[in-house]
Amino acid sequence: MNSPMSRPNNAAAIRGALLVVVAVVVGIYLLRGTDTPTLEQVANPPATTAQVSEDISENESIEETAAEDTATTLPGVSAETSDPQSSDGADDSDSGTMVGFEGRPNNEVAVQVANSTTVRGAAGKTTDILKTKGFLTKSPINMAGTPLDRTRVYYRAGSIIEAGTVALLLGLDSTNDVYKMPSDLSAFKDQEDPDILIALGIDKAQSD
């Protein structure tokens, strides 16, 4: 027959065993809960990265195909394109002589000579030379201001080729001695609105 003192000891032993069992179960559950997310996170990223790489490759292929299709030439249509920076629209008509173009006949070009020097009759003599070449010569005049060391040939719009011809006839440089007509013609008081105005310098001034 069991004594009263043995019952409390048995109950304590049972409770201790239950606590151990509960602790083991809880530990196993926690371990499973910690391992499971780690495995899933390691497995998923490679799949996502591979998918993104495939999408990028597909997009690049589509763009390359589209570019090739755009460059395809249709019948009667040229696929060449021009560079907007290569054609700046600059007008070279006012710089130097225009190679490959022919000017108007001399008898359609009005020329006037202005003497900037103190050599008497120099403008008249140059005018006579141009007249023998068939130019429409205006009356010779004087140019106000300081005498020019080198003769200048001025031209109005549309007469640059003819101005180059006149310069060569006078033994001048058809590029460096040819200038666009100045807007201020106050120094040429008696000018008659010629196509070409020659400001005679000391280099070409000759007396009669």
Q: How confident is the model at residue 53 (pLDDT cuts 50, 70, 90)?
A: low
Q: For 91-111, what is each residue's pLDDT tens digit? A: 444 444 455 578 999 999 999
Specify the CATH architecture of the domain 102-200. Answer: 2-Layer Sandwich (3.30)
Q: How confident is the model at residue 79 (pLDDT cuts 50, 70, 90)?
A: very low
**Percent of the chain with pLDDT strictly greater than 70:** 62
Across 158-167, average pLDDT: 96
Residue with tokens 């002589």: 97
DSSP-derived secondary structure for the chain: ---TTHHHHHHHHHHHHHHHHHHHHHHHHHHHHHHHHHHHHHHHHHHHHHHHHHHHHHHHHHHHHHHHHHHPPPTT-------TTT-----GGGSS--TT-----GGG-EEEEEE-SS-TTHHHHHHHHHHHTT-EEPPPEE--SSPPSS-EEEE-TT-HHHHHHHHHHTT--TTTTEEEPPS--TTSTT----SEEEEE-TTT----
Across 154-173, average pLDDT: 97
Q: Among 5-9, 27-31, 64-68, 151-155, which stretch is predicted with the lowest mean pLDDT? A: 64-68
Q: What is the pLDDT of residue 111?
A: 98
Q: What is the pLDDT of residue 206?
A: 74
Q: What is the pLDDT of residue 17?
A: 81
Measured CA to CA, the distance from residue 79 to residue 90 in angstroms comes to 25
Contacts of 140 (CB under 8 A, 6+ apart): 112, 113, 114, 115, 123, 124, 126, 127
Measured CA to CA, the distance from residue 162 to residue 109 in angstroms comes to 8
Across 170-183, average pLDDT: 96
Of 178, 184, 182, nearest in space to 153 by CA: 178
